[in-house]
A and B are shown apart, each in its own frame.
Chain A
Amino acid sequence: MLNKLLKYDVKSLAKSLVPFYGLVLLLGLLVRISGIVQEHFPVTSFIHGMMLIFFIILIVAILFYTFFISIRRFYRNVLKDEGYLTNTLPVKRSSIILSQTITSFVFSIISTIIMVLALLVAFYTKGSLSEIFELINKLFIAMEIEPWIGYSYTIMTMITGYMGYVLIFYLALILGHQRYSNKIVYSIVYGLVIYGVLQVLSLITVGLTILIDPNLIEVMNNEYATFKDMASLFISSGILSILIPIGCYFLSCKFINTKLNLE
């Protein structure tokens, strides 16, 4: 049954996002073309400039838009009128949430790929890619981080950060929805509460990390400290960033069973 839920969740998000992807890639192409054109006809440079502006806006927007579409789909499909169908399907509620989560994740990856692709289409020149990687590698080495650790950690926190926000929104919407009026207002309130709780958890994490690695206090006061010295903090906050989306997922599953209140 999960596969079937995935099928329809993916279809639905694709319908909203694929046109946007097309637009971004098209604009990337137009940036490249107008760039070439303006080299031969400098008078057209303002067109290139405009394309560039639109392109940058879309590139910045792509992940926000993906996030927005994911949350909107969840809200409409599970908590609004469509919820009467979704919640009476012969599937576990946790499968419903899992399917939405997986779909959000998949499209965040796809959107990132599209974003990179569009940037390559617009700006790639021979060797520019390896230049970029060299630069990043140098940066990591300067910070005394193994490049592979640097890449993995960054990617991991980006993913868990995005999914964390997705699941926080899911949870806040579910909790806010149990009210009879002002559901959105309550969702925002619950969202802020969750955010507050997470801040507290972060502090606790730092505290626990200091207990385990007392050197940290010295390190944090030392302006010559390196990332290596703070490794324990990175590890513990990395663990927290993984636990947050997982925790929100399980809480969402629990509350959707007990607190569902369709209009």
Chain B
Amino acid sequence: MKIEFDNFRPIYVQIVEQLKISIASGKYQSGEQLPVVRNLASDFKVNPNTVQRAFMELENEKLVYTDRTNGRYVTDDKKLIEKVKLELAKEKIDEFLTHMHNLGINNKEIIDYLKSK
């Protein structure tokens, strides 16, 4: 997995985002076990403690839970996953809209373009 992280934002925040995208897109299915900290840290080329912290964040948001054997699993709460998906999408769209407005393109032009696709 070739992910480029920025060094100017907290790494754990970026990992949380990355994992949320993976969960929302279905890469990690509901009830599926997530890779262990060590492997994820090696893939992302980051500190295992940072991955640990990201997992904790996801647990706080109830997207992920830890079972008796310390394995981490994606939540069964499909509604929550949908909610997160929508949140992520809205974030990205808002970002996109900001960029477009900076270019001087208004919403009507955007809608027309989308309709033509």
**Do A's and B's CB atoms come within 8 Å in the complex?**
no
Interface residues of A (CB under 8 A from B): none
